[in-house]
Amino acid sequence: MARNEKEKRKGGAQVAEAPGADGQPENLDKVRDILFGGQMRAVETRMQNVEERLRREHQSFRGEVTKQLAELETLIKGSAQELGDRLTAERSKRTEEIKSLAAEIKEALRALEKRHVKLEEATSMADAGLRDQLLLQSKAATAELAKLGERLGAELSRSHQELVTTKTDSAVLAGLLSDLAVRISGQGERKSGPRG
């Protein structure tokens, strides 16, 4: 506004200097200056003070915002760095744990393989022992059966010999029976004869 007023004054002075204007615009400016000049200067001063204060506050605000942004950026960078360090440490720890676990698993597998081999050996030995026992029992049973067969064969032979030696001839037996029949019938005749 102050600039506009100054330009008007300058423009009014130029108009006053222009030929044929009769000096009235210059008088109007003077009258205006007398009536409103003090107020205009006061308004202009206030405006300048307000502009200066706004400029200072703007610069102060800008500085404060810049400072807070810098602090925020520093804080974010620090937090990001801390998180990155923690992540790296955690990753390293997990890697070590995985390596340790893998080593434990390998060791457990080796132990299981050794136990498996020992179990197979023990099973083979037990199978071999069982086969040997079965073979021995089979041989013993075979020998026992052979002895029993020999004993039964000998007993059968003895029984056969006894039967052969004690057996009577059928013709001799028939003669004996006939003879016995004759005797019986002869005795019956003797007994019945003198009675008659």
pLDDT digits (tens, 9 = 90+) for 159-181: 878 777 766 567 777 888 888 88
Query: Model pTM?
Result: 0.36
Mean pLDDT for the chain overall = 81
Confidence of residue 11 (pLDDT cuts 50, 70, 90): very low
DSSP 167: P
Please say if the pLDDT value at position 101 is more than 80.
Answer: yes
Please say if the pLDDT value at position 182 is more than 50.
Answer: yes
Residue 16: which residues within 8 A CB-CB, separation 6 or more? 23, 25, 26, 29
Contact 29, 9 (CB under 8 A): yes
Ramachandran assignment for 22, one of left (phi > 0), alpha (psi -120 to 50 degrees), beta (any other): left
